[in-house]
């Protein structure tokens, strides 16, 4: 019998596929390996489902996006966990996460952890990539990023209410509190991962085991902690598109491929002067653009040497 479903768990070469409320254990046909393809959690697949025997994945549907660490496809949204302290909050790192997700067509949400470690203060001023140690600082950050179009959360309850009907992944810098958050909102994830770890041998499940968990009417998955972030934006137009507020204003620039650095009649620089764009966002855009250009120059030099 041929069925259609979605992979909800991947473990040591086996794939659990959910179809019409039932879960079937399957393996992938060998021809996928020959084609350089591999099913991943989140894939919509066509598979064989025979009684009392192992099913086989026959076809993998087109993916709208995917992650490598861990291997997950067709993600609707991602929660970026940023801590106030230990490690200290960084607007630069936050914007790198946002660029990464925008480029992959994954809707970002921002969760700021360890708010209880902050002090109360009457005033706040915008800071670039410095430390933020007062609650008022984060209230301002929340307003700034919500104005761009991002949802920002300080507490788990409001975050969970936004997970219904969506496939959501959780990501964040190592030590930012991702595990603490997941243990609070989905303690069954820790239990299930622990059981898998015992079966496979301690520490091995992180590379071999990927699984969706049901929460608040949606599906969620964990990702490894990041100490740094590599993203796939390799040119200025893609970088421009990954900053929604810059993209919107850039349509009014004199030149279609304006880099917003030196060109005359640049609408983005005018918006910056009028405080319509955050200075920190523009500075981070420039830093990422510089990294892209530097990477390209290095690649060109290597190619000339090899040639």
Structure tokens at 217: 């009417």
Whether 115 has a binding-site annotation, put simply, is yes
172 assigned ligand-binding residue: yes
Residue 221 annotated in ligand binding: no
Residue with tokens 């949400």: 109
253 annotated as belonging to a binding site for a ligand: yes
Q: Is residue 116 annotated as involved in ligand binding?
A: yes
* Nearest CA among 75, 97, 67, 68 for reference residue 242: 97
217 assigned ligand-binding residue: no
Q: Is 266 annotated as a binding residue?
A: yes
* Residue 227 assigned to a binding site: no
- If DSSP states are collapsed to H, E and C, what string results for the chain? CEEEEEEEEEECCEEEEEECCEEEEEEECHHHHHCCCCCCECCEEEEECCCCCCEEEEEECCCCCEECCCCEECCCEEEEEEECCCCCCCHHHHHHHHHHHHHCCCEEEEEEECHHHCECCCCCCCCCCCCCCEHHHHHHHHHHHHHHCCEEECCHHHHHCCCCCCEEEEEEECCCCHHHHHHHHCHHHHHHHHHHHHHHCCCCHHHHEEECEEECCEEEEECCCECCCCCCCCCHHHHHHCCHHHHHHHCCCCCCCCCCCCCCCCHHHHHHHCCCCCHHHHHHHHHHHHHHHHHHHHHHHHHHHHC
φ, ψ dihedrals at 53, nearest 5°: -150, 165
- Other C-beta atoms lying within 10 Å of the C-beta of residue 84: 24
Residue found by looking up tokens 């393996």 in the block = 27
180 is in an annotated binding site: yes
Q: Answer yes or no: is 78 a known binding residue.
A: no
156 is in an annotated binding site: no
Confirm whether residue 177 is marked as ligand binding.
yes
Residue 209 labeled ligand binder: no
Q: How far apart are the first and last CA of the chain?
A: 54
Residue 178, annotated ligand binder? yes
Binding residues for Zn(2+): 253, 258, 260, 266
Binding residues: 113-116, 172-180, 253, 258, 260, 266
Binding residues for GTP: 113-116, 172-180
């Amino acid at each position: 019998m041929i069925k259609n479903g979605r992979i909800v768990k991947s473990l040591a070469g086996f794939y659990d596929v959910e179809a019409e409320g039932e879960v079937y254990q399957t393996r992938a046909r060998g021809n996928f390996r020959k084609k350089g393809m591999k099913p991943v959690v989140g894939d919509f697949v066509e598979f064989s489902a025979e009684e009392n025997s192992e099913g086989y994945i026959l076809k993998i549907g087109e993916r709208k996006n995917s992650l490598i660490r861990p291997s997950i496809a067709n993600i609707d949204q991602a929660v970026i966990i940023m801590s106030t302290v230990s490690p200290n909050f960084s607007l630069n790192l936050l914007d790198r996460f946002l660029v990464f997700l925008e480029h992959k067509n994954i809707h970002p949400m921002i969760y700021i952890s360890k708010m209880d470690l902050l002090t109360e203060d009457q005033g706040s001023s915008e800071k670039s990539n410095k430390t933020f140690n007062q609650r008022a600082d984060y209230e301002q950050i929340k307003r700034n990023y919500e104005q761009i179009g991002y949802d920002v959360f300080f507490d788990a309850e409001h975050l969970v209410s936004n997970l219904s009907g969506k496939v959501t992944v959780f990501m964040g810098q190592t030590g930012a509190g991702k595990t603490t958050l997941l243990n609070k909102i989905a303690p069954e994830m820790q239990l299930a991962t622990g059981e898998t770890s015992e079966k496979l041998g301690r520490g091995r499940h992180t590379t071999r085991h990927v699984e969706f968990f049901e929460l608040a009417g949606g599906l969620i998955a964990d990702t490894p902690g990041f100490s740094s972030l590599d993203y796939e934006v390799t040119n200025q137009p893609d970088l421009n598109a990954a900053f929604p507020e810059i993209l919107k204003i850039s349509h009014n620039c004199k030149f279609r491929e304006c880099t917003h650095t030196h060109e005359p009649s640049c609408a983005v620089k005018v918006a910056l002067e009028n405080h319509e764009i955050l200075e920190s966002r523009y500075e981070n855009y420039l830093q990422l653009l510089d990294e892209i250009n530097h990477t390209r120059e290095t690649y060109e030099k290597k190619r000339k040497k090899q040639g």
